[in-house]
């Protein structure tokens, strides 16, 4: 049986940004765009990865008559430059980029909308700048902890053994005791013959595990490179946060409303983490588990829940 993705007709029509530009942040030149209406309620879309980048399909989640949606490619991603760069690329710097972009666009408060790593970054920004947050819509919760990184590297294979076997097979047996370091050394090589096959294998592993049923859609080429290299960089450095940073600082954002949407069969970011976040958040957090869904934004149940959350906020 095929994965059930949302139908095109159930999304908002494809549209072009009404404004796009670039924001210089130290050595990084960040691409951003705005869609919807200039007078709409501001919402900031935060992509996943880290390293994945934005796509035109992301604009279609937002009602163009209600929202002023800001999207940007994080450091090293998409149309931002330098591409796939891990230099000066940390969580605190990304938080600073969001704040600089908010000021650049003259926005007082955003709704933060993010999934997977985007949920991590949304939470980290909200903790740093709660006064500039107008609620959160989060999907596929990842808190950036060592346990979650270990799960990604070692335990997802319990559910997708074929994909995991291919992921491990790329590394010689004598290096497999530390898969993350083995991949990191290859992904940061200056030789395309070394870094690109490693990136393709890493990205294939992740995309294979992202839907309820093993997917046949695989990322490769430049998109795989930015995601794999930047993910490995962040994972190797504990996502540049203390291990319990988000839950330890949850009191700073408990007053904000949060819609937490989670695939029950999400193997990349298991639902236990979303439940733990909602419990710590308390009465202002609403957790919705989607039974027939994994990790992907555009699986039907998840996408419809995201659209409903945007309607309700």
Confidence of residue 1 (pLDDT cuts 50, 70, 90): very low
pLDDT tier at 3 (50, 70, 90 boundaries)? low
266 tagged catalytic:
yes
Catalytic residue flag (residue 116): yes
Residue 127 has pLDDT above 70, yes or no: yes
Q: What is the Cα–Cα distance from 292 to 235, expressed in whole angstroms?
A: 29
Q: 167 pLDDT exceeds 90? A: yes
Structure tokens at 189: 């090589």
Over residues 242-248, mean pLDDT: 96
What is the C-alpha separation between 301 and 295, in angstroms, rounded? Answer: 11
This prediction's pTM = 0.96
Read off the pLDDT of residues 66-121 as tens digits, 9 standing for 90 and up. 999 999 999 999 999 999 999 999 999 999 999 999 999 999 999 999 999 999 99
Per-position DSSP letters for 121-137, written without gaps between them: HHHHHHHH-GGGEEEEE
Q: Which of 116, 204, 210, 300 is catalytic?
A: 116
Extract the runs of DSSP E, i.e. beta strands, from the chain. 19-25, 28-36, 41-46, 67-72, 110-116, 133-141, 258-263, 285-290
Domains in the chain, CATH or no CATH each: 8-145+242-312 (3.40.50.1820), 147-239 (no CATH)
User: What mean pLDDT do residues 192-219 have?
Assistant: 85
The pLDDT of residue 9 is above 90: no
Give the pair of three-digit tokens for residue 97. 């980029």
Neighbours of 5 (CB within 10 A): 15
Q: Residue with structure tokens 């559910």? A: 159
pLDDT of residue 4: 79
**SS3 at position 291:** coil
Cβ-count burial of 297 within 10 angstroms (0-12 exposed, 13-18 middle, 19+ buried)? Answer: buried
* Catalytic, out of 119, 257, 295, 300: 295
Return all residues near 280 (Cβ < 8 A) that are at least 6 apart: 247, 250
C-alpha triplet 122, 127, 131: angle, nearest 5°: 95
- pLDDT of the residue at 213: 66
The yes-or-no answer on residue 65 being catalytic is no
Quote the CA–CA distance of 298 and 58 in Å, as a whole number.
9
Sheet containing 28-36: give its strands across.
Answer: 19-25, 28-36, 67-72, 41-46, 110-116, 133-141, 258-263, 285-290
Rounded CA separation 54/33 (Å): 10
Mean pLDDT of 246-254: 98
């Amino acid at each position: 049986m095929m994965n059930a993705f949302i139908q095109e007709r159930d999304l908002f029509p494809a549209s072009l940004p009404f404004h796009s530009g670039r924001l210089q942040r130290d050595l990084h030149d960040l691409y951003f765009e705005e869609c919807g209406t200039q007078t709409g309620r501001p919402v900031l879309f935060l992509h996943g990865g880290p390293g994945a980048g934005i796509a035109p399909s992301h604009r279609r989640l937002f009602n163009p008559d209600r929202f002023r949606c800001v999207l940007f490619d994080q450091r090293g991603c998409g149309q931002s430059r330098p591409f796939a760069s891990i230099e000066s690329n940390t969580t605190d710097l990304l938080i600073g980029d969001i704040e600089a972009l908010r000021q650049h666009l003259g926005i007082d408060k955003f709704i933060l909308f993010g999934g997977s790593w985007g949920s991590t970054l949304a939470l980290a920004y909200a903790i740093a700048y709660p006064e500039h947050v107008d609620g959160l819509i989060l999907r596929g919760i990842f808190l950036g902890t060592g346990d979650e990184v270990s799960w990604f590297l070692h335990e997802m294979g319990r559910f997708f053994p074929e994909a995991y076997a291919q992921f491990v097979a790329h590394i010689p047996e004598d290096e497999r005791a530390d898969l993350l370091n083995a991949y990191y050394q290859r992904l940061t090589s200056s030789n395309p013959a070394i870094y690109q096959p490693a990136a393709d294998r890493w990205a294939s592993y992740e995309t294979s595990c992202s839907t309820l049923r093993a997917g046949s859609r695989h990322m490769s080429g430049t998109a795989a490179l930015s995601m794999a290299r930047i993910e490995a960089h962040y994972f190797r450095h504990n996502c540049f946060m203390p291990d319990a940073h988000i839950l330890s600082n949850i009191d700073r954002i408990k007053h904000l409303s949060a819609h937490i949407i989670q695939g029950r069969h999400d193997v990349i970011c298991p639902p236990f983490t979303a439940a733990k976040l909602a419990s710590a958040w308390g009465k202002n957090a609403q957790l919705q588990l989607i039974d027939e869904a994994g990790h992907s934004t555009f699986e039907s149940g998840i996408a419809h829940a995201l659209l409903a959350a945007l309607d309700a906020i």
